[in-house]
Amino acid sequence: MLRFRGPHLRWPTRAPTRRLLSTPPPVTVVEKIIMDGIKATGPISFSTYMQMCLSHPTAGYYMNPKNPIFGSKGDFVTSPEITSLFGELLGVWLMSQWMQGPQLPIRIVELGPGRGTLMQDVVRVVARFGKDKLKSVHLVETSPTLRALQEARLEPEAGKYNCTLGWHDSIGDIAPSAEEYTMVVAHEFFDALPFHTIQKTEQGWQEILIALAESSEETYPRFRYVLSPQASAASTLLGFSSSRFKDMPVGSRIEVSPIAFKTMHAIGELIQGNSTESLGCGLVVDYGADRAFDQSFRAFKKHEIADIFHEPGECDLTVNVDFAYLREAVGDFGPAVPTHGPISQAAFLEGMGLSMRVEAAAQRSEDGGVAIREAAKRLVDPSGMGEEYKVLGIGGHASGAVWPFVPETGA
């Protein structure tokens, strides 16, 4: 779950610098496991490294209850945590799509719900405009710690609006339905999915792997990058997983996430709903762009950028999202699952009426609107969240361009 980490919006452009330290940091639990694995079987993929660091059952970043993760005492702050207006506007867009369709009973699915803040705001909007149509909320979450936080926040809402609340380890555990309208939200989810880094050589697509530093006892970080000795079936398949990669020149390097592709395809199945037309809609909000990246992988600790090999299991790890790859993942559904955008978060929020809602809320506030205006400014700041975050719309029933995913005037 990629989060906004203060003012820092940079990522590395080359391999980490090796340095000798008189007293390197202690080896973390996850670091020891990874080092032992490499010693036993050889270099590992970025995918394996990221999965171990974030999702190890007991010591992974999201699984260890000792990691604060969110808020000022954690490692990042999310848009929903800044102001409820963010979640409300996402909910308004979802409801606007539902209103143009058959108005079936509603179920909401969120991938990576964090503390449940965003879902709480979306549920309130859906319940308000959909009245008794909201039937169930499905949360895709693997962390027991985060599930407990989500339950504490959302159980009262579920009781208030008379809808069921359930958890799933994978989106694949949720069956498509032609009897319900499915709304999917994935906010800062795809950036935390494991990925592979591959490089095009004269021999084909070869994978860049992670090995132990040559003198891991004295050198820190304790890992380094290496190029696989030859192209493998897996790296070749990844290199041909998008037509965009076909004509890249030798020397090109790209980050590719097959699990992101698979997850997005599963979202398409839910939105299609065993039908030839859309029976749902969705929003993906994340860092990235409509293209592949070569080396965007980065770590964050206490709102600051850290080396990706620093204290494995105790730092947040994130990679930019290739939105074009996500769009390709639902391409075979045709008109049943159209995509819209991506556009910047600022364009989305402003197009959905953020300014008017801010002024309305400011008139009711005790401080004259200072706090709410400052929060809104952070969400649309062109030098930060407003431009770095992108929003992709999925599904819906409107013919042609879907607001606010429309070309800018003169573009």
Measure the N-to-C terminal CA separation of the chain; round to a whole number of Å. Answer: 32
Render 245-286 in DSSP notation, one character per residue: GTTPPTT-EEEE-HHHHHHHHHHHHHHHTTSSS-SEEEEEEE
Comparing CA positions, the residue from 393, 404, 197, 397 lying closest to residue 279 is 397
Comparing CA positions, the residue from 139, 137, 115 lying closest to residue 126 is 137
Pairing of strands 106-111, 181-187: parallel
Q: What is the mean predicted confidence (pLDDT) over 315-342?
A: 95
Q: DSSP character for 390?
A: E
The pLDDT assigned to 200 comes to 98
Cα–Cα distance between 390 and 186 in angstroms, integer? 12
Cα–Cα distance between 322 and 191 in angstroms, integer? 9
Judged against a pLDDT cut of 50, whether residue 411 lies above it is answered with no
Could you tell me what percent of the chain has a pLDDT over 90? 75
Q: What is the mean predicted confidence (pLDDT) over 66-72?
A: 61
Judged against a pLDDT cut of 60, whether residue 85 lies above it is answered with yes
Q: What is the mean predicted confidence (pLDDT) over 373-385?
A: 93
Judged against a pLDDT cut of 90, whether residue 304 lies above it is answered with no
| Segment 259-274, tens digit of pLDDT | 999 999 999 999 997 6
| Segment 192-247, tens digit of pLDDT | 999 999 999 999 999 999 999 987 566 789 999 999 999 999 999 999 999 999 99
Cα–Cα distance between 389 and 369 in angstroms, integer? 25
Peptide bond into 57 cis (omega under 30): no
Cα–Cα distance between 282 and 268 in angstroms, integer? 9
The pLDDT assigned to 68 comes to 64
The pLDDT assigned to 205 comes to 98
